[in-house]
Structure 1
Amino acid sequence: MRMPELAVSRLGGDPAVDFFNTVDWRLDPERRSERLTSYRHALAWLRQLELLASADADRLASLAAAEPERAAAEHSRILTLRDDSYAALVGDTSSPAALGRELPETQAASRLERGDDGAWSWHPRTLDLATPRHLLTLELARLFASPAVSGFHRCEDRHCGWVFLDTSRQHNRRWCSSADCGNRNRVRAHAERARLAATTPA
């Protein structure tokens, strides 16, 4: 089954952070745009981030076609998980309530496996329509528990809303993309300075 075409950003520096950046112009109600518009879009995103094997994504797409109502419910839970976790990390809410609700079910449906590097990690026991939600829950739980989350930062463009882990040497990264939001805001600031200079009496 052919997967949807999907633009994927990796500017976040972590798959769980990139998950938040599946909304464009999050802080601008007039331009806000959702990339994960269906369950199959979530599958395509997971596959492109290599969190889900292509064969598993195709199998889940077939299951979704057979059970569209359940797939739609899973899609809704995925978006709730994403947006509630985002709100907690940017300080709009006090805790990631949706993640807390999803974790018990996810852990019950998962098992610990040891990787080639000796590290242990959680993996879903079976493949079913809940697998994408479980995978994303595990990724978000890992992020929230990681010391790296101290570098979590929201792009300083007033409309963007994208986020990233600031790993710069001086910890002074301001923009999701220096060439995009950074350049646009520098141009805006320069134009404002020029306007003020032109209207200020000598």
Structure 2
Amino acid sequence: MRMPELAVSRLGGDVALDFCNTVDWRLDPERRGERLQSYAHVLAWLERVELLTSAAAERLAGLADADPSAAAAEHTGILTLRDDSYAALTGDASSPAVLERELPLAHAASRLERSADGTWARHPRTLELGTPRHLLALEFARLFASPALSGFHRCEDRHCGWVFLDTSRQHNRRWCSSADCGNRNRVRAHAERVRREAASRA
């Protein structure tokens, strides 16, 4: 399996939110775009954000080549986990039901290991096709339990749907990117003001 080229955004301020942001124009059905179009895309993304080493991604790609139908099923499960967690984070669902189902499996498939700096983290017991799903479930569980989630915000562009942690000094960040959604909405607002002023003078 050849790893695809993949654009990775880190605007979310947390890897779990960056994973949510692998859907472009999430709130616009006509423009909505999926960045993770296959299991290989998921592996490439996880490697880029350093949740998988290159060697681990290559080994998992080999497992996917050996069992394409199982890899496709994992891909579907991973996107389901992402979208259900997003719905819970944004208040569109009352709880992260898929995460609650996946988390015990993720714990069973991993073990706590101490790193050289003395901190502990969960690592896969063995590499298997389900490893990406387990890694992402652990990341979502960490985020849901984190005090940092008090800064959670969804981009105020009505079509964007990207999410982020607002760590600005005044806690007034409105856009996923000021240069993108922010600028586009400022231009739109200015055009609307000009239109209203012209109409009022007519």
TM-score class, shorter-chain normalisation, is over 0.9
Q: CA deviation at 1:120?
A: 1.6
Equivalent residues in 2 for 1:83-102 (5 A)?
83-102=83-102
Q: CA deviation at 1:123?
A: 1.2
Letter in 2 for 1:165: L
Length-normalised TM-score, structure 2: 0.98
1:37 aligns with 2:24: no
- Alignment partner, residue 63 of structure 2: 63
Q: CA deviation at 1:107?
A: 0.4
- Alignment partner, residue 47 of structure 2: 47
Q: CA deviation at 1:103?
A: 0.5
Instruction: For 1:114 and 1:190, locate their aligned partners in 2 and report how far apart those are by CA, in whole Å.
Output: 54
Deviations 1:150-188 (A, max 9, x none): 111100000000010000011100000000000000000
Q: CA deviation at 1:71?
A: 0.4
Q: CA deviation at 1:113?
A: 1.2
Instruction: For 2:151 and 2:115, locate their aligned partners in 1 and report how far apart those are by CA, in whole Å.
Output: 26
- Alignment partner, residue 184 of structure 1: 184
Q: CA deviation at 1:124?
A: 1.1
Q: CA deviation at 1:117?
A: 2.9
Q: Secondary structure at the match of 1:29?
A: coil
Between the aligned residues of both structures, percent identity stands at 79
Instruction: For 1:196 and 1:126, locate their aligned partners in 2 and report how far apart those are by CA, in whole Å.
Output: 63
Instruction: For 1:56 and 1:70, locate their aligned partners in 2 and report how far apart those are by CA, in whole Å.
Output: 18
Q: CA deviation at 1:89?
A: 0.3
5+ residue gaps, structure 2: none
- Alignment partner, residue 153 of structure 1: 153
Instruction: For 2:83 and 2:111, locate their aligned partners in 1 and report how far apart those are by CA, in whole Å.
Output: 26
1:120 aligns with 2:120: yes
Instruction: For 1:180 and 1:33, locate their aligned partners in 2 and report how far apart those are by CA, in whole Å.
Output: 17
Deviations 1:62-93 (A, max 9, x none): 11011001101100100000000000000000
Bigger shift: residues 151-160 or 1-10 = 1-10
Q: What's the Cα RMSD here?
A: 1.0
1:143 aligns with 2:136: no
Length-normalised TM-score, structure 1: 0.98
Instruction: For 1:105 and 1:78, locate their aligned partners in 2 and report how far apart those are by CA, in whole Å.
Output: 13
Deviations 1:119-171 (A, max 9, x none): 22211111010100011011111111110111111000000000100000111
5+ residue gaps, structure 1: none
Q: Secondary structure at the match of 1:182?
A: helix
Letter in 2 for 1:115: S
Q: CA deviation at 1:23?
A: 0.2
Instruction: For 1:151 and 1:121, locate their aligned partners in 2 and report how far apart those are by CA, in whole Å.
Output: 24
Instruction: For 2:96 and 2:16, locate their aligned partners in 1 and report how far apart those are by CA, in whole Å.
Output: 14
Q: CA deviation at 1:3?
A: 0.5
Deviations 1:19-67 (A, max 9, x none): 0000000000000000000000000000000110001101111110110
